[in-house]
Amino acid sequence: MAMTKPALTVVETAFAKINLALHVRSRRADGYHLIDSLFAFVDAGDRIEVQAAPELRLSLGGDFAGELDDGEDNLALRAARAMQRHFGIAAGAEIRLDKQLPVAAGLGGGSADAAAVARALNRLWNLDADEAALVAAIGGLGADMPVCVASRTVVGRGIGDEMTPWPDAGMLAGRPVLLVNPGKACPTGPVYRRWDGVDRGPLGEAVAGSRNDLEPGALTLVPEIGGVLEALNAVAGAGLVRMSGSGATCFALFDREEDRDAARREIAAAHPGWWMLAGALR
């Protein structure tokens, strides 16, 4: 009897994006904001699996699946359709999204999922497309798409899509990081609308001298962010402590994994309802 060949499963991680710095420079007439941001990625996130199928289908699982729509508006499915159109692909795919990152959390989750789907389908469909081609396919879905396709430490300017290398990226790679979210959604649009319109200057050469200009506005929407920042600043070994993106997730960088893990245990004991992720920068 002939053995059935198992279907090829391609797996990608939708790496959590954090903003080590986010300087808002101006607001355009169309509502978009021009920024200087230092983007970095954690070595963990949502899990994407794709297999060959006659048509595109999306299924959801994971801790935060209930907060997502599995219909046509889901960015993961929109990215797959954009890939079909751009590369002229008639084949479909079964896409499974294991949602482990909280939603509306300042971690680029939807964009990271879309970028991971593009990378996975690139492999499943044997497209051999480079990063630029993937960005051309899905870049129209959001300003974070180019940086999420790359998923490495870069400076983003313009609306975040003009990427340049960060000279000290190699020094950041492998740095232990702890992400903490108070369990509150913090939608991006309302946070940006609370920016006070003051340009406090460009991103410099040192992370320590940078800032997140969205933090004050996010705190008015989700005051619990203040408690998270306070908790992270209080643990031993924490270096840079900051809110990521538009919140509500905050992070701390550490020099040692032991300090990161001890901080996780300490904060978990004091705040058992908070979401946390211990990882390292890519």
Q: Which residues are catalytic?
A: 17, 144
CB of 42 closer than 8 Å to CB of 276: no
Single-letter code of the amino acid located at 134: L
Nearest of 4, 254, 15 to residue 151 by alpha carbon: 15
Nearest of 160, 207, 205, 201 to residue 37 by alpha carbon: 160
Beta carbons within 8 Å of 206's beta carbon, 6+ residues apart:
none
| Rounded-to-integer distance, Cα 156 and Cα 163, Å | 5
Other Cβ atoms less than 10 A from the Cβ of 116: the count is 27
Query: CB-hemisphere CA count at 13 Å for 76?
Result: 32
- Residue with structure tokens 């896409």? 95
Q: How far is CA 107 from the centre of its chain?
A: 4
